Amino acid sequence: VGGMVTMLSMDRRYSYAAVACPLSFFSAVSASWTHLSLGGIESRDQNGVPMGEISDAEDAATLSCGVRVNRRLSVGAGVRLLYHALAGYRASGRGYSTGLLLKPWMPLTLGASLQNLLAKVTWDTPGRTRETLPRTGRLGLGLRPASWANLSLDYEIVQRQGGTWHAGGEIMVGE
């Protein structure tokens, strides 16, 4: 179980809550909610004349499950419900995610995930505007060279935006 509420600069708010529960030694489920909002945005018409303030808020609720196929392979999937409110208009939709975790030998872990599969939102505008969210793919590896150290490297690619490398490490001190 985890969560947080953070007030950020420029009247932004970020909130998150999650819970995960094992169903058995071989499976687990989780649920999470994420909220990001921004208020006090000055609205203007096409001539630049101020028209008052608007706000923007996005929410995502996710339900996921994972299964340990064998001692070396685990797979998971999730569904995400999406909601967006902007300047009096609203959009809703859903998307799917999947992933796998492979442990070929003890110090090495490999992972892959695909997010926002078939993810679309439909706005309540007069034309019922539909948007497709960009898919995200990730490939990563983790290495545990010693019982007190972890290293990680992953590559993330977002549809229509290109890719980014991420790296990290962790050293455990005391117990």
Q: What does the pLDDT look like over 18-39, one tens digit per residue?
A: 999 999 989 999 999 999 999 8
Distance of CA 133 to the CA centre of its chain: 12
Task: Quote the pTM value.
Answer: 0.81
What is the average pLDDT across 85-89?
A: 90
* Token output for 71: 């001692």
DSSP 114-142: EEEEEEEEEE-STT--EEEPPPEEEEEEE
What is the average pLDDT across 135-156?
A: 96
Residue 10: pLDDT band by 50, 70, 90 thresholds? confident
Tracing tokens 């203007």 back to the chain, one arrives at: 44
Q: Give dist(CA 16, CA 34) in Å, integer.
A: 5
CB-based contacts of 34, cutoff 8 Å, min separation 6: 15, 16, 59, 60, 62
